[in-house]
């Protein structure tokens, strides 16, 4: 049965998944990129950027695992871009250029309708304005039996956790402090109730914790 999965979602040691002040110059908020330096060192990341080199470490295995068996992605509007309110024009098409790294259908949660955007490499951004369940249903249909990845950001993940719809969650705990921003496990009535840790391993860079629903 197809699953909704979270992979490689990095949080600081004080629990923040994004820094404050997201804008065009700071896609993940101020100092938010500090959470992802471990990713940029991996062989899988280098391959995605058509670069040589990169480390084949435990971190690399987790990055590669996050793409395996995925047929569609769901993300929040904050992850898609810094624009708020109605879509006033069609100029903004995401942070990733003409050939985004997804190569499958992506469903963006929004309160404002927008026509789909077909990009190079097989990525199509679809905008869903009738709720998280509708987005998940459409994503499962588009994935054609494969799993769906929940990309973020923080608020989007919280909505799916509160609804109990996440089947697997992997967070990478980075040994750095952000001090402010968006905390992943806020607004959850005490935490992701009903989930248990099924894997806990550490590399020199981060601690990997994987959670699944309690049986």
Classify domain 4-213 by CATH number.
Answer: 3.40.430.10
**pLDDT class for 190, splitting at 50, 70, 90?**
low
Contact in structure between 172 and 37 (CB atoms under 8 Å): no
Q: Does residue 83 carry a pLDDT above 90?
A: no
Picking from 64, 141, 57, 155, the residue whose alpha carbon sits closest to that of residue 105 is 141
- Residue 214's contacts (CB-CB under 8 Å, 6 or more residues apart) are 194, 195, 196
Question: What's the rounded mean pLDDT across residues 183-193?
Answer: 84
Three-class DSSP category at 91 = coil
- Residue 143: alpha-carbon gap to chain centroid: 17
Residue 72: per-residue pLDDT? 98
**pLDDT score of 180:** 95
pLDDT at residue 191, rounded to an integer: 64
Tokens of 17: 């998944």
Q: How far apart are CA 161 and CA 154, in angstroms?
A: 11
Residue found under tokens 């607004």: 187
Report the pLDDT value the prediction gives residue 171, as an integer from 0 to 100. 98
Residue 132 pairs in a beta bridge with none
What mean pLDDT value characterizes the chain? 94
Radius of gyration of the chain (CA): 17
**pLDDT digit string, tens, across residues 90-125:** 889 999 999 999 999 999 999 999 999 999 999 999
Q: What does DSSP assign to residue 186?
A: S
Domain ranges of the chain: 4-213
Strand 70-76 versus strand 147-152 pairing type: parallel
pTM above 0.85, yes or no: yes
Assess whether pLDDT exceeds 80 at residue 59: yes
Give the model confidence (pLDDT) of 12-27 as tens digits: 999 999 999 888 888 8
């Amino acid at each position: 049965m197809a699953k909704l999965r979270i992979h490689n979602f990095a949080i600081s040691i004080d629990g923040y998944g994004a820094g404050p002040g997201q804008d065009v110059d700071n896609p993940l908020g101020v100092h938010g990129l500090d959470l992802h330096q471990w990713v940029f060192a991996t062989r899988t990341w280098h391959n995605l950027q058509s670069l040589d080199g990169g480390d084949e470490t435990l971190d690399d295995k987790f990055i590669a695992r996050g793409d395996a068996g995925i047929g569609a992605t769901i993300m929040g509007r904050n992850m898609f871009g810094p624009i708020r309110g109605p879509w006033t024009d069609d100029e903004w098409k995401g942070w990733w250029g003409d050939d985004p790294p997804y190569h499958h259908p992506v469903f963006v949660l929004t309160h404002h309708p927008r026509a789909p955007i077909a990009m190079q490499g097989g990525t199509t951004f679809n905008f869903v304005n009738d709720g998280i369940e509708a987005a998940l249903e459409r994503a499962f249909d588009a994935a054609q039996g494969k799993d769906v990845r929940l990309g973020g950001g923080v608020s989007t993940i919280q909505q799916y956790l509160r609804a109990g719809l996440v089947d697997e969650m992997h967070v990478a705990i980075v040994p750095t402090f952000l001090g402010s921003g968006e905390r992943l496990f806020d607004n959850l009535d005490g935490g992701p109730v009903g989930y248990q840790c099924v894997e806990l391993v550490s590399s020199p860079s981060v601690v990997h914790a994987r959670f699944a629903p309690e049986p």
